[in-house]
Amino acid sequence: MRLLVVEDERDLAQTLRRALEEEEFAVDLAEDGEDALFKIRELPYDAVILDLMLPRLDGWALLQTARADGIRTPVLVLTARDMIDDRVRGLNLGADDYLTKPFALVELVARVRAMIRRAYGNPSSTVQLGGLAIDTAGRQVLRAGAPIELTAREFAILELLTRSRGSVVARSTICEHIYNEDTDVLSNVVDVHVAALRRKLGPGVIRTRRGEGYMIDA
């Protein structure tokens, strides 16, 4: 899952990136509102973490513009402004969730995951797939109660394909969701991960649509 963290305080942005990457998110940073708006428009983020007091274009204006453009990416507002008016204003302008600084990292991560689940139309953190149970919060896959060891990338690909069940996901889309902007990816790297995933999950779970991408049947 790929996130955009919009935060003008560099230290905090770096901390967030490190923490979120450990939670197996691909993380991009934006330091001001205009940069953030450009990235939100260009890239298919799974969620945005947004500070409100930003240089150049503040968080409210950013939210308003993005929503007016029809961008539906879930947005969690992360700000020091804790007055009820501010929260209401943020939510009314199209934010999906609100967290006040200072915050607990575990709560931030849980809220972001919940937000993404809701956006994909499934509020439960566990998905059943044939004989497999995929626990997106606990980051593990169980077959008949026994865990299957997956790498972070493999899990991210499985999670993405599971969320998009029934439709084909292009290789480029997979790349966009599991790598941040600082990573140069060779196109066959996805194929390598998928091959490993198939080996671990067994045949028939992930299907290849030649020239299009991969999919998991609904």
Partner 1 sequence: MLSSLRARLLLWYTFILAAVIATFAGTVCYLFWRSLVADIDQGLRSSAAGFVQGLRPMASGEFDLVLPPEYRQTDGATAPLTFYAVWNREGELVDRSPGDFDIPRPAAAGTVTRDGRREVTVTGANGALVLIGRDLADARRDILAFAGTAAAGGLAALVLSLLGGWFLVGRALAPVARISQAATAMSAGDLTARIAVEHTDNELEQVALALNQAFDRLRLAVENERRFTADASHELRTPLATISAEIEWALSRDRSSEEYRRSFDTAQRAADRMRRVVERLLTLARADSADVALQRAPVGLAPVVNDALGIVQPLAEQKRVTIETRLREATVVGDRDRLTDLVTNLFSNAIQYNRAGGQVHVDVWPEGGEACLRVRDTGTGISADDLPRVFERFYRADKARTSHSGGAGLGLAIAKWIVEAHGGRIACHSTLGQGTEILVHLPRVV
> Does position 83 bind partner 1 by CB under 8 A?
yes
Site string for partner 1, 88-107 (x = CB under 8 A): ------------xxxxxxx-
> Does position 18 bind partner 1 by CB under 8 A?
yes
Is residue 63 within 8 A of residue 81, CB to CB? The reply is no
Please, which residues bridge with residue 135 across strands?
126, 140
Q: C-beta of 45: minimal distance to partner 1 in Å?
A: 20
Classify 71 as helix, strand or coil.
Answer: coil
| Alpha carbon distance 41, 38 (integer Å) | 5
- Closest to 25 (Cα-Cα) out of 156, 161, 197, 176: 156
Q: What torsion do the CA atoms of 44, 49, 29, 26 make, to the nearest 10 degrees?
A: -60
76: tokens are 């969690």
> Does position 137 bind partner 1 by CB under 8 A?
no
Sole window of 12-20, 138-146, 161-169, 180-188 interacting with partner 1 (rule: CB under 8 A): 12-20
Q: Which is nearer to partner 1, 11 or 42 (CB)?
A: 11
User: Using CB under 8 A, which residues numbered 38 to 77 contact partner 1?
Assistant: 53-56
User: Binding residues for partner 1, how many (CB under 8 A)?
Assistant: 30
| Alpha carbon distance 88, 35 (integer Å) | 25
Q: C-beta of 51: minimal distance to partner 1 in Å?
A: 8
Q: Which residues bind partner 1 (CB under 8 A)?
A: 8-12, 14-16, 18-19, 22, 31-32, 53-56, 79-83, 86, 100-106
